[in-house]
């Protein structure tokens, strides 16, 4: 058994919301990225998004903009997460 992080004293429950469990935000997430990617010249289709949904942010952005610098990918990521 691990002894890492402990919940604050008196905590009765912890709730982890994986997308779609309590609120389905996948459509909103898709539209935010469609807008941000479009501002950068990438037309994101529903099929492309479906193929990449669920991946970590860095490979998600790299797939849309191969060869883009780490700084530029980070800037796109910040814009997308701020919009979301």
Residue 59's domain is classified under what CATH number? 1.10.150
**Residue 16 included in any domain:** no
Mean pLDDT of 27-54: 96
How many angstroms separate the Cα of 74 from the Cα of each of 41, 44, 58, 69? 16, 18, 8, 9
Residue 65 within any structural domain of the chain: yes
The answer, yes or no, to whether residue 18 has pLDDT greater than 80, is no
pLDDT of 4 over the 90 cut: no
How far apart, in whole angstroms, are the C-alpha atoms of residue 39 and residue 7?
A: 42
* 21 secondary structure, DSSP code: S
Range of the domain at 63: 26-83
Q: Is residue 7 part of a domain?
A: no
Report the predicted TM-score, pTM, of the whole model to 2 decimal places.
Answer: 0.76
Total of domains in the chain? 1
């Amino acid at each position: 058994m691990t002894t890492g992080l402990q919940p604050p004293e008196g905590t009765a429950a912890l709730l982890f919301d994986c997308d779609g469990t309590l609120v389905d935000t996948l459509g909103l997430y898709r539209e935010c990225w469609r807008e941000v990617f479009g501002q950068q010249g990438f037309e994101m289709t529903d099929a492309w998004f479906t193929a990449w949904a669920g991946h970590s942010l860095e490979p998600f952005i790299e797939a849309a903009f191969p060869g883009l610098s780490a700084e530029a990918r980070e800037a796109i990521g910040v814009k997308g997460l701020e919009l979301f």
